[in-house]
Structure 1
C-alpha cells in the first residue's frame, strides 16, 4: 500500500497494490546488451517509432527515435496518410538508431509492425496510385450495405474471421471501383502500408500473415486468400503480395543503405494488434489484453481458430498455428483527447475518474469515427444524453470515459463464450499510462480485476519479441512491467449495470446496423 493511503481509501477505490510490483524493463547499455540485437519499428496512428532491443527484450539505451504524424481526415469520412511520408519517417528512424558506430554488425534482425487494415493501390512499378487508406476511413459505408445485401455475411465471417465493414478491403475496393474507376483499372497491386515501405527500402514484396488477415480477405483456417470474396469485388489473387509466416524471413533484393543492417534478417511486416498482445504479455488463451491507444481492442491469442466465432468479433490468423480473437474500438484515446481539448477541464481528470460514480453523469456513446466491434455500424456517430443545466465539463468527461469502458464491456460479453480459459485482464497503452485512474472505471464495468502493464512502447517491444522468438528462442526475456491491479468495487455494480442497460437502449434507438 502506498504511503499515506488508508486501507479504507484503498477499499473504496478498488486499487490493489501488489506486494511485488515488477520493475520496468530497464534500458541496457549497448556494451552490456545481449546478442542478438533486433531493430524494431512501429508505425502507429500518431507516430512512427523505432528502437534497438537486446536478446532479453530490453531496449538499448539511446538507440530509439520517434517521428510524429497525423492522419488527414475529412467530414466525409476520409482518413489517409501519404505512404511516401511514412517511408521517409522510417528512413529517418533507421538513420538515427544505426548512427552509433559501436553497433557494428550486431543487429541480427529488423522487424516492423504497422497499424492494421491499410490499403494502397500501386502501379506495375510499385508507385502509389492512392494515398494510404487507414482503418478509420469510412467513405465506403455505402458499399458495406451493398455487399451485406449481396453476400452471406455470416459465411464470409466464418471463412475469413471478419465482418463486412469499412475497415476491410472488400468494401473499399468496391468503393474505389465506383469512385475512381481509372485508378482501380490501373492498379497492379493492392498493398498494405508495411508492404509499401519494404518495397521502397529493400525491394521486397511480402505480407506477414497477420497483415494479410487484417485485409478481411484471408481464410483463417487455410491461410489462402478467399476466392469468392476476391471475385465479388473484382480483384485477383496475384495483385496481392505473397503471405509469409513470421519465421519466413525475406531476403532484400536491394542492399539496404545502412551498414549496421548488412547482416540482418528482415521479418515480414506484422500488425500492431498482434505485437501489442505480445508486448503486454498476453500470449496464451488465459490472458485477455485491453489495448488503450488512439484506437483500442480486447484480444486473446488462441492456439487455433475460434470455435464458435461470435458474430460481433473478429478472428485473425497470425501464423500457421495461432489466431487472435477479439474486437476493436475506433475511438479510445481519440475520444479522450477530443473530450479534453473540447471541454477544457479546470481540474485534474484523474480526480474526476477516481470519484464515485454519479447518476447525474451524462451517458455517452463515444463513436467519433464509427463503430467496429461488436455492432460494426460503420456510420455510427457519437451520442450524448442526460445533459442538464447542472452538467459541467467534468461530468461530460466522466461520461465519455464511462462510455469507452462500456464499449469494452460490450466486446467482452460477446467474446467470452469463445475464450473460456481467460483468467486475467491486462491493460496497456498510452491512455492507461496517461490516465491510470480510468482503469478503475474499466474494472468496475467489466466486474473483474484489471492489471496495468506500465511499459511504454509495448507494441514496439512486442514486435522485437516476436523476432527474438525466431532469432534467440532460448534466451530468457526480461519480465513485463506491471503496476496496480484494479479490483472492481462491488457497490458500483448496480450503477454500471443500469448504465449498460441504458447504453444498449440508446444504441438500439440511434445506431443503424
Structure 2
C-alpha cells in the first residue's frame, strides 16, 4: 500500500531495504528505498550547503562539514527504522572531487569540486606535454580543469606544503566513508571520473599518475558495485543499530546514479540531466573502442560504460540570472514557453568554464546581440536557450558515436521546474523528450545500483514520467539557424582557448 505522498508504507515495503545517500552541489540528502526501488514513507532528509566560490575559479567545500551532514542524515533516517531490514547503504557524490588526507586520516585540504578552474595553466602545460587524443582514448577523459591530473599538479606547484602533507588522495565520498566507517574504497565510476583510470583495464593509469605527481599507494582500491566494503568498524553498528549487518557500497559518481534513477539503464535510452550542472549520457555495454573528441566515457563496472558530455552551468545559470537581471512580474517558465524570437540575445552560457564539447576550461559567458531594447526577460530567455543549444552540441556528437537512442528522458530540478525550457530542449534536439517526474532521480539510482547486488531477482517499480514533449515543426528552422550562430560565435571567441 502507498501513502498519500506516493511512498510505500514501511509495513508494506519489500525487503531488503536500502538507505541511499547523495552529496550534491546544493545539499546532502538521504532516503530509504524498498527492494522494488520505491521510496519508503518517513524517509527523505536534506541538509543544505553551498560551495565557496571566488572570481579566480575557486570552488570548494569543507569535507568535514559534509561528513557531519551525512552522519546527521543517517541518524535521522535510521531513527525510524527497525533493526534487520536495511541490507545496504549506498552513497553517491558530485563527481571529480578531491580531498587530501593526512597521516591521521583527517583532511588537510578543502574538497576541491568539479567546478574549480584554478588549474587552467596546468591544463595548458599538460596539453603541451601529452598527446591528448591518446589520453582521452585510454582514460575516457580530456585534459581539463574538471579532472585530477591538472588539479593535483596545480596544488603541487602552488601549495607544495599542503600537497606534501597529504598521505593519500580521495574523492569526497571516499573521505566520508573513511571518517564514518574507518575504511574506504573508490567505486569504479568515481575512479573513472578522476581522469586517472585506464577505462579498458579498470586500474589506475601509470602515465597519468606520473604527471599528477602521485603514486598508486596514495589512492584507494577501485571496486565494482558487486564488491561492497569489508572491515567496517564494528562501532558503526552500535552507533546506528538499524544498520547492523548492512553492506556498505563504495561511493559512486552522481552521473551514473542519475542514469539508473531516470530509467536510462541501457543503450536504448539517453538521460538528459539538468540540475546545478547538466549532462547527456548513455549507458552502453562493455568499453567503446573509439571516442569522439567532444565526449567522455567513464567505466562504471566490468560490463558497462557511461558515454556522454557534461555542462558546468545549467541551474547555476538560473541562479546567476535571478540574482543579476530584473524579471519584474515575468514568470520564468512562461518566458521559456513563448515562441522563439529572432531578437533574443545569443548567449554562450559558460559561467564557470566549458566541459563538453570544446573543453575550454577558462571559457566565460558571452552575450551577443544585446541592445538598449534588451531587457531582463530577453536575457533570461537567451541564456537558457544557450544552455539548450549546449545540450544540442553534445547530442550531435552522441549521434555520431553510436546512433540514435530510442528514448530521451529528462530529470533534475531544472527539468521539473521549467517545463517550458524542456520544450525548447526538444526543439533544439529535434527529438522527443520524456520528463521524469520522480523526485531525486539520483538518490533513486543510488539505491538501484545497490539493489542490483542485494535483490537482483525482484522487479523494480517503473519510473514515473510526464507526457512526452515533441519538437514543434515550426521552430525547427529557427533553432537550426541559432545553432549555426552559436557555433560561429563560439569559434570566434572561445575556440582560441580550447584544445586543438
TM value normalised by structure 2: 0.96
Look up the match of 2:136: 157
Look up the match of 1:21: none
**Equivalent residues in 2 for 1:437-456, closer than 5 Å:** 437-456=420-439
Is the CA contact (8 Å cut-off) linking 1:316 and 1:323 kept in structure 2? yes
Look up the match of 2:63: 83
Is the CA contact (8 Å cut-off) linking 1:285 and 1:419 kept in structure 2? no
The one of 160, 174, 187 aligned to 2:153: 174
SS at match of 2:46: strand
Query: CA offset at residue 387 of structure 1?
Result: 1.0
**Equivalent residues in 2 for 1:124-163, closer than 5 Å:** 124-163=103-142
Is the CA contact (8 Å cut-off) linking 1:300 and 1:419 kept in structure 2? no
Q: Does 1:48 align with 2:31?
A: no
Is the CA contact (8 Å cut-off) linking 1:315 and 1:326 kept in structure 2? yes
Higher mean displacement: 339-348 or 210-219 = 339-348
d(CA) in 1 for partners of 2:83, 2:249: 20
d(CA) in 2 for partners of 1:508, 1:402: 18
Is the CA contact (8 Å cut-off) linking 2:270 and 2:407 kept in structure 1? yes
Gaps of 5+ in 1: 1-23
SS at match of 1:63: coil
Gaps of 5+ in 2: none
Look up the match of 1:61: 41
Q: Does 1:492 align with 2:478?
A: no
d(CA) in 2 for partners of 1:266, 1:452: 32
Superposed CA RMSD in Å reads 1.3
Is the CA contact (8 Å cut-off) linking 1:25 and 1:58 kept in structure 2? no
After superposition, the C-alpha distances for 1:190-210 in whole angstroms (9 at most, x for unaligned) are 100000000011111211000
Is the CA contact (8 Å cut-off) linking 2:326 and 2:377 kept in structure 1? no
d(CA) in 1 for partners of 2:356, 2:105: 33
Is the CA contact (8 Å cut-off) linking 1:357 and 1:492 kept in structure 2? yes
d(CA) in 2 for partners of 1:354, 1:487: 13
Query: CA offset at residue 231 of structure 1?
Result: 1.3
Higher mean displacement: 418-427 or 429-438 = 418-427
SS at match of 1:128: coil
Moved over 6 A (4+): none
Is the CA contact (8 Å cut-off) linking 1:122 and 1:190 kept in structure 2? yes
Q: Does 1:233 align with 2:212?
A: yes
Look up the match of 1:4: none
**Equivalent residues in 2 for 1:323-342, closer than 5 Å:** 323-342=305-324
Is the CA contact (8 Å cut-off) linking 1:37 and 1:109 kept in structure 2? yes
Higher mean displacement: 79-88 or 123-132 = 123-132
How many pairs align? 490
Is the CA contact (8 Å cut-off) linking 1:282 and 1:300 kept in structure 2? yes
Is the CA contact (8 Å cut-off) linking 1:209 and 1:319 kept in structure 2? yes
d(CA) in 2 for partners of 1:113, 1:320: 19
Query: CA offset at residue 465 of structure 1?
Result: 0.7
Is the CA contact (8 Å cut-off) linking 2:270 and 2:281 kept in structure 1? yes
Query: CA offset at residue 125 of structure 1?
Result: 2.2
Look up the match of 1:361: 344
